[in-house]
């Protein structure tokens, strides 16, 4: 019998992705579609692209293996999306009957809903077609067709969260914008299996306010940002500059009704009134972002309070002290940093890709476990370095033909050379090995700087990233120094939680301390990323500071760099002082 490989396809219209799990159950490749296309979020693009998919099969699938395509939405999606379109049509008719001029915020909601719903249907029609076509071309006469399996969207989230966790048993919370019938689901993970506990009941599509994910999207728009482009990050960054607004808190908190593990909402009329009020509060184009800081702060409070209420109810079941958390809402690092302190859980795991891109991994692992139910699920650290490498051929051509006088082969000494430059105050691009899967740069596709400089944030935002001045930067810290630098330190391997700096330490590293005294940290261990650990270790020897400033290797509005060409373009069109691509260094 041929070996069987599993290709996971995350087919949400935003953040689609493709993953490969081999015959041993190892995740050998995972990458968001946006990276290859260099199109932020790759909205409407299927994950199995022509030609690109052939490259992935050739490089990462075992030769001649049978292929299983695992999809991150079940067969129910098409019917659900068609009901959604019917509901949107009814909403449009209702608006036209009730208003001479329908409210702009309601029309905007209908238009956005219709576009994304049609995109869902389009993904169902397209996804998997190129995979089938390219597999036949690559395998030739050995090709026997692809078996296709579909999985519930939230179950795929839960598989990503649980099967990549270091726990043998846990409870699992999935919270996102919307899945199949609900925005929340809860599972008990034990004996390598996921058992559904309870979930919020199906809502009418007019009642989608029973969703923390969609709530945060609306707050994103209220603050003047673009939720379609995934700018919820900006709300978290802006919140640190705001204060609690008691009236707004009660208005927003009144949207949600928590009953055990069920998340409900108020009547449609009450929702309509709240959305209308938020629409009138929207920051207008050209107005300073800080004008919306109190909205961001208060909404973040509501988000965290409702989330922790649900998680405390989950903990009260006394099934486990371990929590795995997934879904798009698990990208809220500010809330993640509060979970262990505000619930009874002892340990928390959030994967490197908890949102919809990560479902490519979850779907593939579900298919593997379906074929190997007798095997224990491994409880170990899952490396996030699952993406593409820099092209050796292109890098060789760069060395041959570029005639850049400052291009140097570091011959294995790149980490130490980079540490010297950082200690001298240089801003350095650091590209090595395989790309990270998920939205965070974790030392393989990073821009690095010295955290001791009080003006480094402003310099990088204005000269390198070209983004808003209130956006913070993350510290990558050697694990052994974590308790010395952070109050109630927790390991954060994927930069997934925000913790508070110790006040006496914060003064030493102002470049990575946000306005509220926190930092979204990345824990670095030698066994996880040896070269990045060496770099920070050498920086510590030079400066007595065991952490560096780390941000993703991109400019605002673009995905993280994917190719040598992308890296060089960012380097020469930004204020970077030097760039390392594996062992090659270029200085300006």
The CATH code of the domain that includes 122 is: 3.30.420
Give yes or no for a contact between 10 and 16, defined as CB atoms under 8 angstroms apart.
yes
Give the pLDDT confidence of 494-518 residue by residue, as tens digits.
Answer: 999 999 999 999 999 999 999 999 9
Supply the range of the domain harboring residue 230: 165-350
Helix axes 268-280, 104-126, angle to 10 degrees: 110
Are residues 443 and 550 both part of a single domain?
A: yes
Alpha-carbon dihedral sign for residues 197, 202, 205, 209: negative
Q: Is residue 503 part of a domain?
A: yes
Distances (CA, A) of 246 to 210, 241, 249: 22, 16, 5
Q: Is residue 140 part of a domain?
A: yes
Give the pLDDT confidence of 273-315 residue by residue, as tens digits.
Answer: 898 899 999 999 999 999 999 999 999 999 999 999 999 999 9
Give strand pairing partners of 521. Answer: 497
Q: Is residue 95 part of a domain?
A: yes
Give yes or no for a contact between 424 and 452, defined as CB atoms under 8 angstroms apart.
no
Are residues 274 and 316 both part of a single domain?
A: yes
Domain count, the chain: 3
Q: Which of 297, 330, 350 is at the close of a domain?
A: 350
Are residues 218 and 342 both part of a single domain?
A: yes
Q: How far apart are CA 536 and CA 416, in angstroms?
A: 9
Are residues 403 and 343 both part of a single domain?
A: no
Q: Is residue 246 part of a domain?
A: yes
Which of helix, strand or coil describes residue 86? helix
Are residues 346 and 360 both part of a single domain?
A: no
Q: Is residue 387 part of a domain?
A: no
Q: How far apart are CA 32 and CA 55, in angstroms?
A: 15
Give the pLDDT confidence of 152-194 residue by residue, as tens digits.
Answer: 999 999 999 999 999 999 999 999 998 888 899 999 999 999 9
CATH number of the CATH domain containing 341: 3.30.420.40
Tell me the average pLDDT across 474-478.
Answer: 98
Are residues 371 and 476 both part of a single domain?
A: no
Q: Is residue 438 part of a domain?
A: yes
Q: How far apart are CA 64 and CA 268, in angstroms?
A: 55
Are residues 203 and 226 both part of a single domain?
A: yes
Q: Is residue 38 part of a domain?
A: yes
CATH number of the CATH domain containing 517: 3.90.870.20
Amino acid 465: pLDDT:
94
Are residues 282 and 418 both part of a single domain?
A: no
Are residues 404 and 343 both part of a single domain?
A: no
State percent of the chain over pLDDT 90. Answer: 82
Tell me the average pLDDT across 107-132.
Answer: 88
> At 198, is the pLDDT very low, low, confident or very high (cuts 50, 70, 90)?
confident
Are residues 95 and 207 both part of a single domain?
A: no
Amino acid 1: pLDDT:
56
Tell me the average pLDDT across 564-577.
Answer: 98
Sheet of 193-199, strand order: 193-199, 184-190, 170-175, 322-326, 347-350
Amino acid 199: pLDDT:
58
Q: Is residue 260 part of a domain?
A: yes
Are residues 440 and 562 both part of a single domain?
A: yes
Q: pTM for this one?
A: 0.95
Q: How far apart are CA 311 and CA 303, in angstroms?
A: 12
> 75: how many CB neighbours lie within 10 A of its CB?
12
Are residues 14 and 126 both part of a single domain?
A: yes
Cα-Cα end-to-end distance for the chain? 56
Tell me the average pLDDT across 511-539.
Answer: 98
């Amino acid at each position: 019998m041929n070996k069987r490989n599993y290709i996971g396809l995350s087919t949400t219209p935003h953040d689609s992705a493709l993953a490969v799990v081999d015959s041993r159950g190892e995740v050998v490749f995972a990458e968001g579609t946006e990276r290859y296309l260099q199109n932020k979020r790759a909205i409407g693009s299927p994950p199995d692209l022509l030609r690109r998919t052939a490259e992935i099969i050739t490089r990462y699938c075992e030769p001649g293996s049978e292929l299983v395509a695992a999809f991150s939405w079940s067969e129910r999606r098409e019917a659900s999306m068609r009901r959604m379109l019917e509901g949107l049509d009814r909403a449009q008719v209702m608006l036209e009957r009730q208003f001479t001029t329908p409210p702009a915020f309601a029309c905007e909601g209908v238009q956005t809903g219709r576009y994304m719903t049609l995109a869902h249907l389009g993904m169902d029609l397209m996804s998997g077609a190129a995979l089938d076509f390219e597999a036949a071309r690559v395998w030739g006469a050995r090709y026997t067709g692809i078996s296709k399996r579909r999985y519930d969207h939230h179950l795929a989230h839960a598989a990503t969260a649980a099967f990549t966790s270091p726990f043998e048993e846990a409870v699992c919370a999935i919270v996102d914008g919307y899945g199949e019938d609900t925005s929340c689901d809860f599972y008990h993970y034990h004996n390598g299996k996921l058992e559904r506990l309870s979930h919020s009941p199906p809502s009418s599509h007019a009642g989608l306010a029973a969703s923390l994910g969609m709530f945060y999207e609306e707050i994103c728009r209220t603050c003047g940002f673009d939720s379609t482009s995934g700018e919820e990050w900006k709300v978290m960054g802006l919140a640190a500059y705001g204060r609690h607004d008691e009236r707004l808190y009660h208005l927003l908190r009144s949207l949600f009704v928590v009953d055990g593990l069920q998340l409900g909402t108020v009547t449609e009329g009450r929702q309509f009134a709240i959305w209308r009020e938020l629409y009138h509060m929207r920051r207008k184009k050209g107005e300073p972002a800080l004008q919306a800081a109190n909205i961001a702060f208060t909404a973040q409070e509501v988000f965290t309070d409702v989330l922790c209420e649900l998680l405390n109810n989950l903990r009260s079941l006394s099934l486990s002290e371990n929590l795995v958390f997934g879904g798009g809402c698990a990208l809220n690092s500010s809330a993640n940093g509060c979970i262990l302190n505000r619930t009874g859980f002892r340990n928390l795991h959030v994967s490197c890709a908890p949102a919809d891109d990560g479902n490519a991994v979850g779907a593939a692992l579900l298919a593997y476990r379906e074929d190997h139910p007798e095997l224990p699920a491994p409880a170990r650290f899952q490396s996030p370095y699952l993406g593409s490498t820099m092209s050796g051929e292109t890098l060789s051509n760069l060395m041959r033909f570029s005639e850049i006088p400052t291009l140097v082969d570091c011959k294995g000494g790149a980490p130490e050379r980079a540490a010297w430059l950082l200690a001298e105050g240089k801003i350095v691009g650091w590209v090595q090995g395989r790309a990270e899967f998920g939205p965070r740069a974790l030392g393989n596709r990073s821009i690095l700087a010295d955290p001791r400089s009080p003006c480094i944030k402003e310099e990088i935002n204005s000269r390198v990233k070209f983004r808003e001045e209130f956006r913070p930067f993350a510290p990558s810290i050697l694990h052994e120094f974590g308790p010395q630098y952070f109050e109630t330190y927790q390991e954060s391997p994927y930069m997934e939680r925000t913790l508070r700096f110790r006040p006496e330490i914060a003064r030493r590293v102002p470049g990575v301390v946000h306005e509220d005294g926190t930092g979204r940290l990345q824990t670095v261990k030698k066994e996880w990323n040896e070269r990045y650990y060496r770099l920070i270790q050498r920086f510590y020897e030079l400066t007595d500071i065991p952490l560096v400033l780390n941000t993703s290797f991109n400019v605002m509005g673009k995905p993280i760099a994917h190719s040598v060409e992308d890296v060089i373009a960012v380097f020469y069109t930004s204020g970077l002082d030097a760039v390392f691509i594996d062992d090659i260094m270029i200085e300006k």
